[in-house]
Chain A
Amino acid sequence: MRSLASLLLALLFLYTSVAMAGGAGKGIGLYGGEWSPDPMSEYWDPKSFYTPRADLVEGIYRGEECVDCHEGITPGIVKGWRASRHAAAAKPVLCDACHGADHQKIIFPTTETCAGCHEKQHGEFMDEKRYGFPSHALAMERAVDAKHFVDKPKAETASCMQCHSVATKCDSCHTRHLFSAAEARRPEACVTCHSGPPHPDDETYYSSAHGKLYLAEGSKWDWSKPLAKGNYPAPTCAYCHMRGKHQVAEKAIWKFGLREVNPNTSENMVKKAKWMAVCRDCHDEKTSAKAFSTLAKERKRAWTKLYEMEDLLKDLRSGKVITPAPGQRPAYPADFVDSIWPIIRIGFHEGQASAFYNVSLIERLYFEMWYFDNLGAYKGAAHGADELANLQHQKMERSMKRIRAEAARLRRPGKREPGDLWLRGEYTDFNRENN
């Protein structure tokens, strides 16, 4: 018996190493051995991927010389730098301070480069990791460890790295080469990434009372002021999420709306108290408590709907009526166990966040309800955009209708086999062979 077990273990080990060697490798994270980075990766995560390449220009330069030359070559970035505090300082922070002086070994700045001077901000930013997901500091790990990131072609997932580079560079919020604190205090600095179906932070904030006030008068506010009580007539993204500290994670309670959260754990009560302290810059305790309980109620409402659908899907799964069934479609992305014992993934805890392509229609419909409708509802409720939250709940109900209709169709007698529909096709084949 023992020898059989060790034989199985040995086979498992062998298979894993073969599977690992299958990809070209040199990626990063949990599955780094299984994927090869796209060339753009060096710009989104310079610490992991950037290698200086010998270019046309040789020599060691002083900062002033860099400026002189680049004024002619890339005048736009020099213009940005000239307007910056780096340029205005008594002892200016010149190009070589961040990029190095050797043109053949140009450095691409990372968060650590900035930490050389901005130690406090960097320390607070790195401290986010303590709180786990969601956070900016963990964003790149979060991206590359996602199974669909590993599985999909890297030129496709190059789009992921741009936003998740908020973990690896400071210019996601303080754009180069101005690197302005004032810019990052304004909501627009956030919306390049915080927009779109799973996180419509832009729409929900702009249609809240806070956002409306910002849109009406924000251009006249003095953005050089720090995010502190009394400095702004209405809060911006950064005011609430980063007031007092250069990080967004320490107050995060709801896990982006991705899974159900009990707001009354002792940990979450501490976080709630921190939120309420921010609200109390303008509101009385009763008002802020009410906003909090409105959000908690909305979350309950959303999860009642979501669980109802998850139960329905799990019921279909036990009845083995979901088609294409595992085996009739590509394996769950980058999953060793799934390649020998494929299963259908339903809900957050089973990793459905990575199963939004190459799945059956009913799983996709649930994904859309959970990932788009529900997350949008959460953002609406959290940002005080009640109308949008209600609209998202109506969308959830429409999704439920579609899911029920599809469930009824799947249960109808006379099974229709999907054949090779999910297994072959130009993209499907390409996706299988390229990661």
Chain B
Amino acid sequence: MAGWRIFAAAALVVCLLAHGAVAQAPEGDFADTECVKCHLEKSPAVVEQWKAGDHGKPDRMVTCFDCHGGTHEIAAPTARTNGACIRCHENEGAAVHSYRTSKHGVIALLEQATWDWTQPLMEGNYRAPTCAYCHLHSGDHDVGGILSRRGAAARARVEEVCSDCHSPRFISTYMATGERMYQIGLMKGREAEALVERFRKADQDERTLADMNETYEKMKYYHLKNLRMGIAHQSPDYQWWHGHPALDGDLIRIKSLYQGSLK
């Protein structure tokens, strides 16, 4: 019985080879478990990267189907488009809008209809990067993971991705300035934090302290994030109007709250 099965399988392979169909993807709608089961054999690295990345975490799992859709033939091109990412990330505001108004985002938006999306996300196959071009460069499925972390590995990856189009000198200069620009933002944050602490230690009234804290949180979670996104996505508007001058305003508000409750 087993021998027959092996024969049938071998015959199938021979037929498929003869018709040039082996390289082609299987048709049909698949359940998520099926994708993973098959790709654990076909491309185990991709599955491992996905598991290690933010999308593979059990508490907020984004499945193959979510980005790639159900049609196997166009699974890769589908996930390469910005639409695949923006569908879920739209509500995050700064992350999407900073990219959309950047030159990268504008070029992608205007030219996407004419691009060949069957090309892999590497070696300047696209005139401007899409979300996936940077965050899943060369098909690395550790989505956003490495680019969102800080440190040498992340830096090396950014340099590699940017150098598909930009010179090493431009990349290192831009990154160094971006880092300093962000550090200045953090200074504003720390100046505010020190004031909140000073106020707390002086045992000033609770309501003002709560108001000061609220403004400080706004700095940390919104305006500093805007700045970071502006730098990472090359959006001058997020670096500046949604970033630095907004932080300046927060700092004034915190100082004014402090002063107002002085006896």
Residues of A within 8 A of B (CB): 38-40, 42-43, 53, 55, 73-80, 83, 153, 155-156, 158-160, 162-163, 175, 178, 183, 186, 188-189, 191-193, 195-198, 202, 219, 323-324, 356-361, 364, 368, 409, 416-419, 421-422, 425-428, 430
A-B contact pairs, 15 of them (CB 8 A): A43-B174, A75-B165, A155-B181, A159-B244, A175-B107, A193-B237, A219-B113, A356-B248, A364-B253, A418-B255, A421-B195, A422-B255, A425-B191, A425-B194, A426-B190
Contacts of B241 in A (CB 8 A): 196-198
Q: Are B110 and A186 in contact (CB under 8 A)?
A: yes
Question: In whole Å, how far is A56's beta carbon from the nearest beta carbon of chain B?
Answer: 9
Question: In whole Å, how far is B100's beta carbon from the nearest beta carbon of chain A?
Answer: 8
Contacts of A192 in B (CB 8 A): 101-103, 106, 235-237
The residue on A at minimum CB distance from B164 is A76
Residues of B within 8 A of A (CB): 101-103, 106-107, 109-110, 113, 123-128, 163-167, 169-170, 173-174, 176-177, 180-181, 183-184, 187-188, 190-191, 194-195, 230, 235-237, 239-245, 248-249, 251-253, 255-256, 258-260, 262-263
Q: Are A195 and B124 in contact (CB under 8 A)?
A: no
Question: In whole Å, how far is B95's beta carbon from the nearest beta carbon of chain A?
Answer: 16
Question: In whole Å, how far is B129's beta carbon from the nearest beta carbon of chain A?
Answer: 8
**Residue from B127, B166, B170, B240 in contact with A80 in the complex, judged by beta carbons closer than 8 Å:** B127
What separation, in Å, do the CA atoms of A111 and B165 have in the docked complex?
22
The residue on A at minimum CB distance from B182 is A155
Q: Are B127 and A155 in contact (CB under 8 A)?
A: no
Question: In whole Å, how far is A207's beta carbon from the nearest beta carbon of chain B?
Answer: 16
What separation, in Å, do the CA atoms of A420 and B135 have in the docked complex?
45
The residue on A at minimum CB distance from B249 is A364
Counted as pairs of residues, one from A and one from B, with CB atoms less than 8 Å apart, the total is 156
**Residue from B170, B187, B236 in contact with A159 in the complex, judged by beta carbons closer than 8 Å:** B236
**Residue from A158, A188, A357 in contact with B251 in the complex, judged by beta carbons closer than 8 Å:** A357
Contacts of A196 in B (CB 8 A): 237, 240-242
What separation, in Å, do the CA atoms of A119 and B235 have in the docked complex?
30
Indicate whether A416 sits within 8 Å of B244 (C-beta atoms), given known contacts A43-B173, A159-B181: no
4 closest cross-chain pairs (CB), A and B: A76-B124, A76-B165, A75-B124, A155-B180
Contacts of A430 in B (CB 8 A): 184, 187
The residue on B at minimum CB distance from A73 is B163
Q: Are A195 and B184 in contact (CB under 8 A)?
A: no
What separation, in Å, do the CA atoms of A188 and B107 have in the docked complex?
9
Question: In whole Å, how far is A192's beta carbon from the nearest beta carbon of chain B?
Answer: 5
Question: In whole Å, how far is B152's beta carbon from the nearest beta carbon of chain A?
Answer: 21
Q: Are B258 and A421 in contact (CB under 8 A)?
A: yes
Q: Are A158 and B262 in contact (CB under 8 A)?
A: no
**Residue from A42, A74, A80, A425 in contact with B195 in the complex, judged by beta carbons closer than 8 Å:** A425
Question: In whole Å, how far is B92's beta carbon from the nearest beta carbon of chain A?
Answer: 17
Q: Are A155 and B102 in contact (CB under 8 A)?
A: no
Q: Are B260 and A76 in contact (CB under 8 A)?
A: no
Question: In whole Å, how far is A295's beta carbon from the nearest beta carbon of chain B?
Answer: 24
Q: Are A356 and B173 in contact (CB under 8 A)?
A: no
Q: Are A323 and B236 in contact (CB under 8 A)?
A: no
**Residue from B123, B169, B260 in contact with A55 in the complex, judged by beta carbons closer than 8 Å:** B169
The residue on A at minimum CB distance from B185 is A156
Most buried by A among B167, B169, B236, B258: B236
Q: Are A188 and B249 in contact (CB under 8 A)?
A: no
What separation, in Å, do the CA atoms of A364 and B177 have in the docked complex?
28
Contacts of A155 in B (CB 8 A): 177, 180-181, 183-184
